[in-house]
Each structure stands twice: as C-alpha cells, then as structure tokens.
Amino acid sequence: MRKIDLCLSSEGAEVILATSSDEKHPPENMIDGNPETFWTTTGMFPQEFIICFHKHVRIERLVIQSYF
C-alpha cells in the first residue's frame, strides 16, 4: 500500500495560523511538497503553526527540519 503525504496542500492541507511570516518564504511553503522551499520565521522563539486537515487523519510520523 502506497503511503500518501496528507500534509500537502495538494491533498487539501492548509496552514491556518503561523506566528510569523516572511514575504519570500511564507508558511504555505511547509506544505507545498517542494524540498527547495521553506518557511522562514521572524522574531523571537518560540514559533508556532497550525496545519488543518479537512478530514480525520492518522499521524504515523512527524518530521521537522530546522537549520541554524
């Protein structure tokens, strides 16, 4: 059975809140499926985001990549 990444905008996921945003690297980049794009936070820590799934999902794995 092929695993589907339900945390993609192409699968209906949506970033409904982000505590910071950058014009060149908006929060929506987190879920666009492109490994070359990213969300840049601005300001102090901590930063938060909320991703909305438009159906019930079972989360089996969570991957967060952070640099610098």
Q: Give mean pLDDT in consecutive 10-residue pieces for the chain, a chain of 68 residues.
A: 83 94 93 93 86 89 81
Q: With the C-alpha atoms ordered 48, 68, 28, 25, is the resulting torsion angle positive or negative?
A: positive
Backbone torsions φ then ψ of 11, nearest 5 degrees: -100, 5
Amino acid 60: pLDDT: 84
What is the pLDDT at residue 14?
A: 96
pLDDT of residue 8: 92
Give me the domain span that covers residue 58. 1-67
Return the CATH number at 6: 2.60.120.260
Total domains present in the chain = 1
User: In this predicted structure, what is the pLDDT of residue 32?
Assistant: 95
pLDDT for res 1: 64
- The Cα–Cα gap between 22 and 11 comes to 24
